[in-house]
Amino acid sequence: MIPSAVRMLRWAIRSLSAVIALSFASTVLAADFPAKPIRFLVGVAPGGGTDFMARLVGQKLNEAWGQPVVVDNRIGATGLIAMELLAKAAPDGYTLIVFNVGHMMSAHLARKVAFDPVKDFAPVSLMANGTSMLGIHPSIPAKTVREFIAFAKSRPGKINYASGGYGGIQHLSTELLKLEAGIDLVHVPYKGSGPGTLALLSGQVQVFLTNMLALAPLLKSGKVIGLAVTGEKRVSAAPDVPTFAEAGFPSVNVSLWQGMFAPAGTPGAIVDKLSKTIAASLKTPEVTRLLATQGAEPAGSTPAEFGRFVQHERERWLKVVREAKITIN
């Protein structure tokens, strides 16, 4: 009879050997990665900010590794179609997704999805942070956030605001503003930020909290009045528009971020290689300049840092959903 201590020692040695073997295999696999083209799934149409980010980073990875990066736009269901494809993909690093905060929230708000939005994905890197602007129609007699809030309080339920879709970041960020300011606005969802902007211009809605780039060109003509931008500092495209913090609402700090996930089970060494190469490419002056044209700033993070960031964002916005009593369709 082998003493239990000896059996435990042998089990520990076998377990350690298995871990070392797996680690060695993962390292060898990463050294050869990539050996073929990589696919970036993107849940939006070509031309948007997330698509721009995917193509920019894909180009840089191609330059670094000499392998093509194919951007595969799988449009529909606020990014859920692309995320489901990723969940079913082989965990080998050759199929990845570039997604945004709205896609993350749609996965958590949908009643039925064919994947687990937490367990089925491995965080790779935070890629960029973008800025939102609160724009109002000129028919509203307000030039500041405080004046707008006072006007809205005098007309509860009479002012409409646009979003690019139910459960998206524009919807949730405006609900956050409503909670912080104690105002009652009526949500009018559209199929994307483009139709929402047109609705604001026509006066069908009077308020739109959306990507700064969509509204900044309309300020000089007076077609839209910019009241505040999210983020820690003013933006060069609209230097006269204060931040929400300057306007007295620091908690309305919304980032239109984009990031990358891999399928769960992707070898850690491959995930780390992707993360480090992406971070290096984002630090170049060329990429910083190109992102500035999109109203964004480069990020870059380790997988662990991005995982913690996503968890914080998830908890933050789910709290807004609960407090705003948003009904999940």
147 and 296 assigned to the same domain = no
Tell me what the mean pLDDT of segment 64-85 comes to. Answer: 93
> Based on the domain organization, do 122 and 266 belong to the same domain?
yes
CATH of the domain at 194: 3.40.190.10
Residues in the chain, overall count: 329
Task: Write out pLDDT tens, residues 59-70.
Answer: 999 999 999 999
262 shares a domain with 189: no
Residue 4 is predicted with a pLDDT of 66
Q: Are residues 221 and 271 in the same domain?
A: no
pLDDT-based confidence at residue 294 (cuts at 50, 70, 90): confident
Do 259 and 123 belong to one domain?
A: yes
Taking residues 96-110, report their average pLDDT: 91
pLDDT above 50 for 211: yes
pTM: 0.84
Is the pLDDT at 24 greater than 80, yes or no? no
**Please, which pLDDT band fits residue 182 given cuts at 50, 70 and 90?**
very high
Q: Is residue 114 assigned to a domain?
A: yes
What's the confidence (pLDDT) of residue 1?
Answer: 47
Q: How far is CA 248 from CA 29, 70, 273, in A?
A: 52, 44, 42
Whether 22 is covered by a domain: the verdict is no
Per the structure, the count of domains in the chain is 2
Tokens 């239990």 correspond to what residue? Answer: 4
Distance of alpha carbon 313 from alpha carbon 256, whole angstroms: 11
Are 281 and 198 part of one and the same domain?
no
Residue 12 lies in a domain: no
User: Are 140 and 116 within one domain?
Assistant: no
Report pLDDT for 28: 53
**Does 41 share its domain with 189?**
no
Query: Is 125 part of any domain?
Result: yes
Name the residue range of residue 83's domain. 32-130+255-324
Q: Which of 229, 247, 280 is the last residue of a domain?
A: 229
User: Which token pair is 252?
Assistant: 């309305």
Please tell me the distance from the alpha carbon of residue 307 to that of residue 12, in angstroms, as a whole number.
30
Q: In degrees, to the nearest 5, what angle opens at C-alpha 243 toward C-alphas 44 and 173? A: 40
pLDDT at 308 (0 to 100): 97
Sheet holding 225-229, edge to edge: 185-189, 159-163, 207-211, 132-136, 225-229
Task: Specify if 156 maps to a domain.
Answer: yes
For 114-139, how does the pLDDT look when each residue is reduced to its tens digit (9 = 90+)? 999 999 999 999 999 999 999 999 99
Instruction: Please tell me the predicted confidence (pLDDT) of residue 186.
Output: 98
Q: Give the span between the Cα atoms of 64 and 225, in whole angstroms.
A: 43
Asked whether residue 3 carries a pLDDT value surpassing 70, the answer given is: no
On whether both 120 and 149 belong to a single domain, the answer is no
pLDDT of 8 reads 65
Cα 110 to Cα 84: distance, rounded to the nearest angstrom: 13
Structural domain includes residue 116: yes
Report if residue 26 sits inside a domain: no
71 pairs with which residues across the strands?
40
Q: Which residue has the tokens 């050996």?
A: 35
Residues 220 and 147 in one domain: yes
Tell me, yes or no, whether 43 and 87 share the same domain: yes
74 lies in some domain: yes
| Alpha carbon separation from 305 to 110, 275, 309, 311 (Å, rounded) | 26, 11, 6, 10
Domain C-terminal end among 194, 212, 229: 229
Q: What is the domain-level CATH number for residue 318? A: 3.40.190.150
**Position 18 pLDDT exceeds 70:** no
Instruction: Name which of 69, 95, 38, 65 is nearest 266 in CA terms.
Output: 95
Same-domain status, 168 and 220: yes
User: Among candidates 108, 215, 231, 84, which has minimal Cα distance to 167?
Assistant: 108
The 10s digit of each residue's pLDDT in 220-230 is 999 999 999 99
* Residues 248-262, mean pLDDT to the nearest whole number: 94
Q: What is the largest CA-CA distance in the chain?
A: 89
